[in-house]
Amino acid sequence: MERISEAAVRERETERALLSGAFSEYVSEPDRLAAVWAAKHRELRRVSLLMDTSGWDAYEPEQDIQGSEWGRERDERRQGVLSAHAAQLARRQEERDELRTELWLSAGSGRLIRAAADRAGLSPAEVLAQLAERVVVGEDGTVSVPPFSPSR
């Protein structure tokens, strides 16, 4: 009962603060905070009513079918959000590892790359990408590419 009263007070306080714009700079999402307290207040009232109608002295989560279902749904949503976040972080890391550049070659080097690309049926950019994938850096810092034939 005490937790319900506290949640009711918090719900009223956050709603009032939201309406008046009186949140401190430490609250980044005041409308979310108000919604959280309102939801907590509703849930505590629901649990209290369930305990009264079921004659429980203490809350028994395993007997609360609706609460257990909501808990599973919350866990599934949380896991989905965490999975999506992990995938987004992996994509960002992959993007950071990529190198996109504009390359200006001398006329002679450009002709050689275009000729190799034409023979392989590739674009010059695809030949350069294959070339870059085969780069070998020696212990002394020298850069070389072993001979290869560009291919699809």
Residue 77 and residue 35 in one domain:
no
With respect to residue 126, please indicate whether it lies within any of the assigned structural domains: yes
Residue 118 shares a structural domain with residue 130: yes
Give the span between the Cα atoms of 124 and 132, in whole angstroms: 12
pLDDT tens over the chain, length 152 residues: 788 888 888 888 888 777 777 666 556 677 788 888 899 999 999 999 999 999 998 888 888 998 889 889 999 999 999 999 999 999 988 888 887 788 899 999 999 999 999 999 999 999 999 999 999 999 999 999 999 999 98
**Is the residue at 84 inside a domain?**
yes
Q: Is 36 inside any structural domain?
A: yes
Tell me: do 14 and 1 sit in the same domain: yes
Residue range of the domain that includes 7: 1-63
Residue 97: its pLDDT value, please? 80
Asked, for residue 149, whether it belongs to a domain, the answer is: no
Count of CB atoms within 10 A of residue 56's CB?
13
The residues, any chain, with a CB within 8 Å of residue 126's CB and separated by 6 or more, are 117, 150
Are 56 and 33 in contact, with CB atoms under 8 Å apart?
A: no
